């Protein structure tokens, strides 16, 4: 049985694409307030695992519990409403809409929806939280790449999640932006959010993740404290393409 304070429990989750087992009996737990890295070489199943947790894809086996409640048979909007938000590897902001309206759109699945001025005020708070307060009226499509990533984060936060799934949110940033991005994630952790992050930027993994789960060819090959896991010979071999 899961420890009473387990926030997310992935238990033998499995997903196939035809004959390929993209996620093979994957198991791990997340505890409240943790920032955990989901690592592994390209094609190891990380994004598919995130899709199983967020309900974007149904699992073919296993269980996923959030706060002790089974979520593996729920639709993505139901899972969102329970408090799991995500960002995507390729940013998905609504280009023609203003930044403020993008954030308001993200509030659609909030447990207690806001309308009118209250929604606008809350959107402004969220934009401020990610450093976009000056761009509230700007169409999202006119933002720079990092600012679109910030906006995507604000949209995810608009859901008031308890668990945030970040899929390579720090990819493609220059060194200054990376430091800003790391600081922002730290700040979210400080506010009590639990975060599972797929990330290839190892400096960020070291800076942010207390624990990591490492996948290879769909299975979990290592799990534990970040520094130890990244020294694990099997992990090193997997990253070298062995």
Helices (H), the chain: 46-54, 76-82, 99-106, 116-129, 145-157, 175-190, 202-208, 226-231, 233-239
Q: Which of 8, 10, 36, 47 binds ligand ADP (CB under 6 A)?
A: 47
Contact (Cβ atoms closer than 8 angstroms) between residue 107 and residue 113:
yes
Q: Determine if 22 is a binding residue for ligand ADP (CB under 6 A).
A: yes
Alpha carbons 80 and 63: distance in angstroms, whole number: 17
Taking the complex as a whole, the smallest distance from the CB of residue 23 to ligand ADP amounts, in Å, to 7
Residue 50 near residue 20, CB atoms below 8 Å: no
Smallest distance from the beta carbon of 20 to ligand ADP, in angstroms? 6
Does 46 sit near ligand ADP (CB under 6 A)?
yes
By rule CB under 6 A, what count of residues binds ligand ADP?
A: 11
Of 24-32, 39-47, 150-158, 225-233, the segment contacting ligand ADP by CB under 6 A is 39-47
What gap in Å lies between CA 84 and CA 227, rounded to an integer?
Answer: 27
Query: Could you say whether residue 241 binds ligand ADP (CB under 6 A)?
Result: no
**What does the CA dihedral 51, 54, 56, 59 come to, rounded to 10 degrees?**
70
Q: Does 32 bind ligand ADP (CB under 6 A)?
A: no
Please, how many CA atoms are within 13 Å of residue 5, restricted to the half-sphere of its CB? 5
24 belongs to the binding site for ligand ADP (CB under 6 A):
no
Among 32, 43, 61, 139, the residue binding ligand ADP under the rule CB under 6 A is: 43
Q: Which range of residues in 45-53, 124-132, 147-155, 179-187 is near ligand ADP by CB under 6 A?
A: 45-53
Given the complex with ligand ADP, which of 63 and 219 has the nearer CB atom?
Answer: 219
- Judged by beta carbon, residue 44 or residue 102, the one nearer ligand ADP is 44
Which residue in the set 17, 78, 172, 191 belongs to the binding site for ligand ADP (CB under 6 A)? Answer: 17
- The separation between CA 8 and the C-alpha centre of its own chain, rounded to angstroms, equals 13
Q: Strand 20-30 to strand 211-216: parallel, antiparallel, or no bridges (unpaired)?
A: unpaired
Binds ligand ADP (CB under 6 A): choice among 9, 24, 48, 100: 48
CA distance 205 to 186: 12
Where on the chain is the footprint of ligand ADP (CB under 6 A)? 17, 20, 22, 40, 42-48
């Amino acid at each position: 049985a899961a420890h009473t304070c387990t926030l997310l429990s992935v238990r033998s989750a499995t997903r196939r694409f035809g004959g390929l087992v993209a996620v093979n009996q994957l198991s791990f737990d997340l505890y409240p307030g943790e920032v955990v890295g989901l690592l592994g070489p390209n094609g190891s199943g990380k994004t598919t695992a995130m899709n199983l947790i967020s309900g974007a894809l149904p699992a073919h086996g296993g269980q996923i519990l959030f706060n002790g409640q089974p979520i593996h048979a729920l639709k993505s909007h139901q899972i969102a409403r329970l408090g799991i938000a995500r960002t995507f590897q390729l940013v998905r902001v609504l280009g023609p809409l203003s930044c403020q309206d993008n954030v308001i759109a993200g509030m659609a699945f909030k447990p207690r929806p806001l309308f009118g001025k209250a929604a606008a005020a809350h959107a402004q708070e969220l934009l401020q939280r990610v450093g976009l307060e000056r761009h509230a009226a700007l169409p999202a499509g006119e933002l720079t790449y990092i600012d679109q990533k910030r906006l995507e984060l604000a949209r995810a936060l608009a859901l008031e999640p308890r668990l945030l799934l970040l899929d390579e949110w720090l990819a493609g940033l220059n060194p200054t932006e990376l430091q800003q991005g790391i600081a922002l994630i730290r700040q979210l952790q400080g506010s009590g959010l639990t975060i599972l992050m797929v990330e290839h930027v190892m400096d960020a993994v070291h800076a942010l993740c207390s624990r990591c789960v490492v996948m290879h060819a769909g299975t979990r090959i290592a799990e534990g404290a970040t520094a130890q896991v990244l020294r694990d010979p099997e992990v090193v071999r997997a990253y070298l393409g062995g």
